[in-house]
Amino acid sequence: MSDNPSELARFSEKVVALERDVRQMRARVIQLEKERTEYLQNVSHQLVAPLNAIKWHIENLTEGRLSVDRAKKVLRSVYSQATIAVHLAKNFNLMSNLEGEHALKALKEPLQEVQLFRLLVNLADDFQPLAWDQQIQIGVERQNFETTPPVLAMKPLISQVFSNIIENAVKYSKSNTEIVISGRRESNNTISVEIRNQGIPLAASQIASVFERGFRSEEAKRKYPAGTGFGLYIARRIVEIHEGTISAFNDPPWVVFKVNLSIKGLQGKTRFRA
Ligand SMILES: Nc1ncnc2c1ncn2[C@@H]1O[C@H](COP(=O)(O)OP(=O)(O)OP(=O)(O)O)[C@@H](O)[C@H]1O
Ligand SMILES: [Mg+2]
């Protein structure tokens, strides 16, 4: 090595620059590792929900307590939950861009026209057998909703948003209450859907926190110790990717979750399935 002072100075500058690059690369690796872990936790959260529902339905069926009519509905729900689980398992990449930087275009799923009324009627049917166990009735109001135009969305992802909200409504409702799903055209380009249930009221301080990753209220932990607090975070990320909004509020005695989605806002922004 040279003992020329200016060359030594250049050399130590290079070392400093290399050290900075290594630090940046290390930070990037840590960030990627965190995103990967969160992605796997998200996928696992969304897979566990339908699998648990299937397990629960099969327990009920094998106990033989159900009327033939109810047993048929339970079997339909098993089929549809299994379809959701298979779709998720086949399309792990569906959820990959929920974490970190994401662009709508990066998601593999094409946009399609989704009739939210039909989607929610089907989801209500899927969750009704779980709700029967606590004498909870799930209803979808037709008025104003049935005639709303379709929204452009990634159907399997939007379906997960509403599954997560309805699953919560079933879990956190008191027995002998109702879950009411309604929808309407909120403005020229917006459809809003509200899901209301009665159970654990949301304290003012919890209203923003419920969408944070890992948040669970003390009451929720007491009622269902096994939750992760990921469901509403996943719902919020999916809604944000769709450039919509999601919010929670109390309308005593109801707790309400509201989702606004754009009818045509995403047109031309990514692939489209006719
Ligand atoms: N319908 C509801 N009524 C009252 N509180 C709710 C309702 N839905 C969600 N919450 C509150 O928001 C928290 C976060 O919900 P989220 O779905 O993210 O997680 P979780 O249901 O606790 O866990 P997981 O989804 O893994 O089962 C809940 O723990 C609960 O405190
Ligand atoms: Mg949940």
pLDDT of res. 208: 86
Q: How far is the CA of 163 from the centre of ligand 2 (A)?
A: 9
Burial class (CB in 10 A: 0-12, 13-18, 19+), 191: buried
Mean pLDDT of 53-61: 91
> What is d(CA 26, CA 31) in angstroms, rounded to the nearest whole number?
9
Q: Extract the tokens encoding 180.
A: 């009411």
- Centre of ligand 2 to C-alpha 233, Å, is 9
Q: Confidence class of residue 166 from pLDDT cuts 50, 70 and 90?
A: very high
Ligand number, closest to the Cα atom of 195: 1
pLDDT in tens, 76-103: 999 999 988 888 887 776 666 676 555 5
- Contacts by 31-39, CB closer than 8 A, 24 or more apart: 31/100, 35/99, 35/100, 38/99, 38/213, 39/95, 39/96, 39/98, 39/99
Q: Select the CATH number that applies to the domain covering 106-262 from these four: 3.90.1150.10, 3.30.470.10, 1.10.40.60, 3.30.565.10.
A: 3.30.565.10
* Mean pLDDT on 118-139: 94
User: What average pLDDT score do residues 252-259 get?
Assistant: 97
Fold of the 5-98 domain: Helix Hairpins (1.10.287)
Q: Is the pLDDT of residue 262 over 60?
A: yes
- Out of 31-35, 98-102, 263-267, pick the least confident: 98-102
- Domain locations in the chain as residue ranges: 5-98, 106-262
Mean pLDDT (whole number) for 243-249: 96
Q: Which atom of ligand 1 is nearest to the CA of 200?
A: 4
* Ligand 1 centre distance from Cα of residue 71 (Å): 29
Q: What is the pLDDT of residues 100-121, one digit of tens each?
A: 555 556 666 788 999 999 999 9
